[in-house]
Amino acid sequence: MPLRRAGAPAALLLPLLSLLAACATPQQPAAIGTPVAPPAPPATVEIIARTAGPIAGFSATPAALEAFRRACPRLLKREDSSGLTTPADWAAACADTDSNPASFFARHFTPVVLNDGKGLATGYFEPEIAGLYAAAPGAAPVLARPPELVDLNLKDWAITGGTIRGVVKGNRVVRAPDRAAIETGAFAKRGLELAWAADPVDFFFLQIQGSGRLGMPDGKVLRIGYDGQNGHQYVAIGKLLKDRGILPKPGMAEIKAWLRANPAEGAALMRENPSYIFFRKLPDSIDGPIGALGVPLIAEANAATDPAATPLGAPVWVETMVDGQPFRRLLVASDTGGAIKGPNRYDIFFGAGAEAGRKAGPLAAPLEARILLPNAAAQRLQQ
């Protein structure tokens, strides 16, 4: 699921500096950042010939070309945290109006492999669940981002550790409420409710996906997109169920069934995941959820990745198995996710609805990946 940052107000910077200094000391209970994964191993980058390995004979779809062109305005301006590209590297490809995907990508890009190219594929989608305009017994509020929630990049102060997130309280930033506190009213009566989800189990899984659609009683559909996270580490309840011997193979359908069959225990289990997602309303005019690059995603043409390993917006050739069938596709890595960490880790976006969920939900398969770097970036790596 996508996790993005929003800047802190300038007036807060002085009091925040003292907080940041405290964060460098392990004993201090500073706010935690986006879900933490083990440090990624350092990636080695190897230029490969187009005739070598899985990249041989790769094809690109018009959807992949459209996904790349949507990313271009951001690629020409943003810093690449992987260190593999610069904004200028993308200029030639972004200026080319060639409508033939195969010739376009062949002309402007050079395939490279990170480490051995082997990694993990998972999937995500845009679910549609039942929504309500007003509170009702058992319904879950869909909350907008509280204005006091701030994200801080520790690199801005030459402190290692990624991003921290918390809420402004007076002249300090403190840890944000966890899921249990939020669900019992930490942000109640603030006017933050965008709508209500009729089924809290469905809403829990929509939060994991990071965006979705609410089917309202009058037939309208309200689209909601990720607008922040409370800074607490994500805990996978499926793993808890497996570790406790409750479900030996906890897929999404099995977890939902158990939560509904055991409502009291299920509510307590969901609160063991302290991470909580806030949303914003999305316009009806967009044709997909908004990814980390700020542009709509395209089904089976976009993926989430770790931007510390793969340049955000880069085309990536992936080979894996989806729904029991070979899946060989050029995807554009235009999104991020809290659990998507390390080289060759890709979360494939499958679109909206039940069929997309059927493909995405159980996917956890080995993959081979080749990143297509702009020729200028690849030439620089060879020097």
**Secondary structure in 3-state letters for 179-194:** HHHHHCCCCCCCCCEE
Q: How confident is the model at residue 58 (pLDDT cuts 50, 70, 90)?
A: low
Q: Token digits for 50?
A: 């187009």
Instruction: Select from 282, 315, 332 the last residue of a domain.
Output: 282
Q: Please count the structural domains in the chain.
A: 2
Same domain, 157 and 256: yes
Q: How confident is the model at residue 258 (pLDDT cuts 50, 70, 90)?
A: very high
Calculate Rg over the CA atoms of the chain: 21
The answer to whether residue 1 is domain-embedded is: no
pLDDT at 165 (0 to 100): 87
pLDDT at 47 (0 to 100): 67
pLDDT at 19 (0 to 100): 33
pLDDT at 38 (0 to 100): 36
Burial class (CB in 10 A: 0-12, 13-18, 19+), 244: exposed
- Which of 93-102, 148-157, 315-324 shows the lowest per-residue confidence on average (mean pLDDT)? 148-157
Q: How confident is the model at residue 136 (pLDDT cuts 50, 70, 90)?
A: very high
170-214 residue pLDDT tens:
999 899 999 999 999 999 999 999 999 999 999 999 999 888 999
Q: Which residues make beta-bridge pairs with 303?
A: 333, 348
Same domain, 255 and 170: yes
Same domain, 373 and 257: no
- Report whether 305 contacts 345 (CB < 8 A): yes
Q: How confident is the model at residue 152 (pLDDT cuts 50, 70, 90)?
A: confident
Phi, psi of 65 (to 5 degrees): -65, -40
The mean per-residue pLDDT over the stretch 264-271 comes to 98
Instruction: Give the chain's mean pLDDT.
Output: 85
Same domain, 186 and 256: yes
pLDDT above 50 for 113: yes
Residues 191-224 as b/e (b if ≥16 CB within 10 A, e otherwise) read ebbbbbbbbbbbbbbbbbbbbbbbeeeeeeebbb
Instruction: Select from 248, 282, 316 the last residue of a domain.
Output: 282
Same domain, 208 and 293: no
Q: Give the C-alpha separation, 189 to 162, whole Å.
A: 33
The mean per-residue pLDDT over the stretch 106-125 comes to 93
